[in-house]
Chain A
Amino acid sequence: MLQQSELPVDANAADLVVAAFEAPDPVSSSRRSWWRMIPVAMCCLWLLLVIVGALFASRLPIQSPSAVKPIERLRGPSWKHWFGTDNLGRDLFARSVYGARVSLTVGVVSVVIGLVIGGAVGIVAGYLRGRTDEFISWVVDVLLSFPSLVLLIALVAYRGSGLTNICLALGFLGIPIYARLARAHAMTIGGEEFVLAARASGAGKLRILWREIMPNVLPTLSAYGLVSMSLAIVVEGSLSFLGLSVSVPTPSWGGLIAGGQSFIRQTPTWIILPSVVLCLTVLSLNVIGERLRRRFEVGSGG
C-alpha cells in the first residue's frame, strides 16, 4: 500500500532501530511495557531540545554564533566552548544551535508544501478516479521519473540558492510522492461503507473528501512527513556541503560540517559534533515517524 520502494529515504537504519525495540512476537506487542517506549521517548526529548534551541536560540545563555575571536581559533571542546571553535574562533555550539533553525525550517516548510499540495491532489485522484485520476497520475509519474537530485540541483542553479528556494525546491520534489501515497489511501478509504453512508445522506464530493477521506489519510501522511522531514534535512545538509544552500555567514548543519573538512586534522570535533546532532535529529524523526505510521496502520482497522 505504501509506496515505500519509491522513497529515496535511507530508512534502513531507522527500521533497524525500531525493529530492535519492537517486541519479537506480536502477542506481547499489545501489552508493550513501559521500558520499550524509552527509545521513542528519548527521540521525542531530543527533538524537543532541538526545537526549543532553534526557536529560542537568541534568548538562550549561549555564545554569539558570529563573534569572531581569532585568539581562540580551532579549539577542541571545553567548558566555555562545548563544541570547540572554528577557524575564525566562533563558537561551534552556538552555530549548531542556530544551524537547527535552517535545518528545521527546511524540513518543516518543504514537508508542509509537499504534504498539503501532494496530499490534496492525491486524495482527489484516489477518490474521484476516472479521468481526473488518469490525468493526475500521469503528471505524478512524469514528475517521479525525473532523477530528483538532478532536478533539485537544476532548480537551485536556476532559481539561485537561499533558504526560500531550497524549501520550495524540496517541497516541490515531495509533491508527487505524497500524491501517490494519498491516492493509494484515498482509494482504499473511498471503498469503505462509511463513505457510501455519507453519499447516501446526500453529501457532495467536496464534503466527502474533506470530512471522510482527508481525516483518514492525514495521519499516515503526517507520519510519513516526519520521516521525509529527516530526508529534507539531510538533503539540505548535502546541498550546504556542496555550497548550493544557504549563504555562508548563516550557519546550517550542512554548512558547518562542510566548513570543518579542511581542518579535520586539527579539530575533528568540528565535523563530528554537528554531524552527531544532525544524525540524532534524523534518527529521531525516523523513529517517531515510523512508530506513528505503524500505529495508524493498525489503528485504522478498528
Chain B
Amino acid sequence: MENLLANSSEPRTQPVALHGAVLRLTDIEKVYQTKTIETVALNRVNLTINRGEFVSIMGPSGCGKSTLLSLMGLLDEPTSGVIEVDGRAVTSFSDRELAGLRNLKIGFVFQSYHLINDLSVVDNVEVPLLYRPGMGSKERRKRAVDALDKVGLSARTGHFPSQLSGGQRQRVAIARALAGGPEIILADEPTGNLDSVMGEEIMGLLLDLNRQEGVTVVMVTHDEHQALKTERVIRFFDGSQVG
C-alpha cells in the first residue's frame, strides 16, 4: 500500500477527470425553529459539487457552514429545496434509504474527530463497514487496515483514541471516512482543533486523497491559506452564498 503522507511532497499526478454532479442543492433553505426565535441558517442556497472536485467553504462563525455540510451529508432535511445525489432527488427517501446512501457514498470528518473512545483504532475505522450488508469480518478488517495504511497509521491499529495525538486522531477519522470507499468526503473544519503543523499534514492528506484517489472533497475551513490550495472556494455570509 502506498503511503499518501510519505509522498505528499512529490509531484502530483492529476486525477482522472470524472465529470457530472455528485451533489446538487437547489433553493435550499434551512430554518431552525426554537421556542423563542427562528434562525434562518441557510437562505436560498444553490450549489453543485462535481465529481473529483476539492471545494472549500469559508465564512464567519454561525453563517451556516456546518448546517450546509449536514444537509449535503443527508444527516438533516432542508426546510425547503431539493438535494440530489448522483442526479436523484432524495426528498422522498426514507430514513433507511438515507442511511444506506450515507453508508455507500459519504464519508464524514469532524472538527473534534468524534472517534468512539471505547473502540480501538481499527474498530473505529471499521464502523462504516459494519453497516454494509453482507460484508464479512475478514473483509472489514482488511479494508480498515488498508485505509489506515493510506493515512500512515497501520502501526497503531490496536491503540485506543485516548492514546493518540490530535493529528493522529484526525488521521484515524479520515481513514474511517475512507474505509467505505465513498464518493465524497465532507470535512467540517478538519484542522480546526490542530496546530498549524498537524493542520498542514491533514490538509496534505486530503489533497492527496482527492488527487490520487479521485475522491470528491468538500471542506469547511477558516484558513485562507488552505482554501487557496483547493480548486474552488465558496464563501458564505449569514446563510447566503456570497462568492
A binds B: no
Q: Which B positions have Cβ atoms within 8 angstroms of A?
A: none
Which residues from chain A sit less than 8 Å from chain B, CB to CB?
none
